[in-house]
Structure 1
Amino acid sequence: MMASQVASHVASQVVNNKTCAQCEISFKGKSPKCFNCSICNFWFCLECSHVSNKVYDVLKSEPNVKNLPFNCDGCTRVLPKITELAKALHLQQLKIESCEKKYEDLKNTLQSVVEEQVEKAITEYREREERKLNIIIHNVPEPRAESTDKKGDDEISLKEILLTTKCVGLKNFDFVRLGRPSDGRDRLIKVTLGSVSDKHRVLGGTRYLRAKIGQVYAHRWSKIFITPDQTKEERIKNMNLKRELEKRKLEEKNHDLIIFRWEIVERRPDSLVNSTMATPGISEPGRPFRL
């Protein structure tokens, strides 16, 4: 028998006219001797509680043990299983809480990633819009150091190059050298044209820069390359496509592969297509292309 919760005089009024949950003996009188199970809350007589009158009297007289729990035989037998079930439920609760936390973390992470990607896409779009009228011209010789009008010298060279590409009548364009001057390296020239159609005309005419008469280039601008003004993401994509193109050319032994509109395709035999539909300055800089 374990420590007991003894029915006091006040409790006796509660159990009056009730019976033992096990033997169904009636609790009558002012001071029924019985115990209340702290688990099932049923009342049990002394005999069914396995407690003698002497022990009951001692327990009742000790105020320190009055409120200690008493468990009936039935609850005592199932208590381990109840405890085990309670532990299992507790573990399940912990797992559920852990899953909920992971879900919240994942939701927050996903939301952050989506917001970042959206912001990145918006930034990329803005950059492309800002650059959509620009072209980059490579390998234009720097004006001589003693020149007093280097901007004017660059303008003369630029006009000659544009005329060589068969682009006549271009208006409202501006240009600037990119970066600081450095010995032995010609800076790029960024040209801002008046319209997207003007840009396509220039890019489509780059093939004329490498026109030949016999085995000799017809123009002194044969080393000039013209490409679109690309964003960082576009340059990275171009670089990866360039590597993939060279790899496939070696593996497939096919030198007719080109990059067209961000894809690697086989060059069509039509000469016009060959000369005007390559992709923006990736593996073969300066080769004409369309956007």
Structure 2
Amino acid sequence: MSQTRNRLPKRGRPLDSSPLNKTEKKHKDAEAETYCTIFQEVILEGEEGQDAAFCEGQCQSWIHRKCSGLTSQAFEKICESDDKYMCPYCLLSMQNCELKELRNIVKSLSEKLNQLTGSPPPANASKKETVQTVSTPESNTDIVMNDTSNDIAATVTSLINEEREKEKRKLNVIVHNLPECDDPDPSNRKSHDISKTSSIVDKYLSVPTTITQAIRIGKKREKPRLLKITFNSSQEKAAVLRSCTKLRKSYVPEDVRRIYITPDLTPKEQELNKTLRSQLAEKNKNDPENSPCLLVGGDFNFPDISWQDGYAHINPSPTYGTDANKLLVDTINDHGLEQLISVPTRGNNILDLILCSHPSLISNVEITPGISDHDAILYCFELPNKPLSDKIDHPIYLYHKGNMEGVKSDILDFQLQFLSSNPYSNDVESNWNNFKQAINNAITSHIPQKPPQSRSNLPWITPSIKRLMNRRTCLYRKAKSLQTEKAWNDYCILRNKITNCIRNAHTKYQTNLFNKNEKTNHKNFWKYIKNIRKDQHGIPPLNENGNTINSSKEKATVLNNKFQSVFTQENTTDIPNCDSTPHPIIPDIAVSCDGVQNLLETLDPSKASRPDNIPTRILKFCAKEIAPILTAIFIQSLTSRHIPNDWLKANITPVFKKGDRSNTNIYRPISLISVCCKILEHIMYHHIAEHLNTNNICDQILENLPFGHKETFWEN
């Protein structure tokens, strides 16, 4: 009771009266004595310090304000509030019961999860949890407080919040790239978004819907903001999401084709979706035909198999019978394994074997004395790194969609301008840069291009198979939605048809790889072999002076320094002077326009672009227009004794030979220089060779060489 005689707490009532309504205030019966539950003292009406509140929990009793720990402000709020008041002991007891129920639910769910996944129960499942007990004054009931109650409560709260987020979004979808209306009136903009979305859904998706709300998300910017659409029912939302792929069809206008519709995901679903996308992107970097790397080692105890150069030869009358030995050899061959031990491991026999499907991953194989009668085998096994990105670093030109005649016309215009402007008045570098710029401008103007893409696609998957696969996806979604036998039968029939088509296409592709009539068949063959290999692609970590080098830039620097160190640096300051020679003097090199044109027309258009980025296909197709320009540049280069800087550059590829892959000494460089520079080299080589053969100079030199050095002369 409060100090005012006629004022009681809103939730207060005498013990012998009926429960009060939430909005009522009644005075305690003066004749009945009411006791405080905690200290068993009589609550005196109208006395100072006798404020009391009635607990509507389990105890159903009166408690002094001071005994319950309530402040004056809290007591006043209880008097004015319609909420229930519970004493600390009843509140703690109720929370403990709820926590017990939550623990039982979590425990049962955990047991079901372990049964489904086959995972063993936690190691500490049988241990008793640490508990704390608190006794109430009126009973001996112990209130259990688990140390993990906070974690359980947090988990339950998170799940409840997630369900609330899903409930708020169950009728929503997100529309991307829908143009916004510039009307300053928000209601007009909202009407425009609803009408535009409805027309797209009705016209292209053929789904009757009723849109109840449309909201733009985020601040207005250059790109259209995301549009949150709310449908009238979940069935309409599901139908729209099932049919939204129709917006990608070719008959749909291009501005509508840029629009796509996605579900309205909760923050947790967005994070999960982001994680799945990153995992999928990481997985897609791997080879599509990802096969496992098999490594088997141990004591096989087959002394009658001799391993010569990695091949198995069964000796006559083997100890364990021919069938057992043949079974081991067939198993090794069937799984594509290679045996790497060639030294006896016990006596004169090779009993301990190391079998691996990727032998290039094993290095430094050594045989050392063991603790038994068998020798021990020590080797290094390099775990396959993630395949290096096979992404192309230059744009891909679509020549079959381009205007090649337009390219030829632009180059012809540049040729006339180049020859009429007296090119010999400029230096070689300027003329070359102008020519290269003209080629690039012509290609950019008339040849479309696409951005580089990963080379992980399967070449035997034809466009017709891709269309069937898209149709299969639609049938699967339809069958999953309808759940009818006919829909599932249609999906299964098409799925089996696609499987047979892919197998037949793969077999046909493999057969064509061995077709000798194909001129470029060897290139496709080795490309296919590279894709199905699981060895390390590119350069593995290198060992330089005891340091391991992992970054690509450092690897390139180390290999470049190694390649430079093995080349001879000629001393150009001390060149011997030949006063006289018994041989005729070589005439000046003559460069003709017809000869340059013939060399350009014999180029292979499939060759890759070199450091100057001039496609070989353009050089061949426009040979007649380009020949006069290159002829002038070649003559000027020979006359001035200078060559363009692009001709001094080369794309160098390190090629592994044999041995330890981390050793920089076993790599050999392969250089790709400018095609135009190679044409000039060919002209010079042909001129020198013709002079030597015409005057029999080679025969005279060979006569003076000692025996055994003639082959070396021709090789050099």
Under a length normalisation based on structure 1, what TM-score does the superposition of the two structures give? 0.49
Larger-Rg structure: 1
Under a length normalisation based on structure 2, what TM-score does the superposition of the two structures give? 0.21
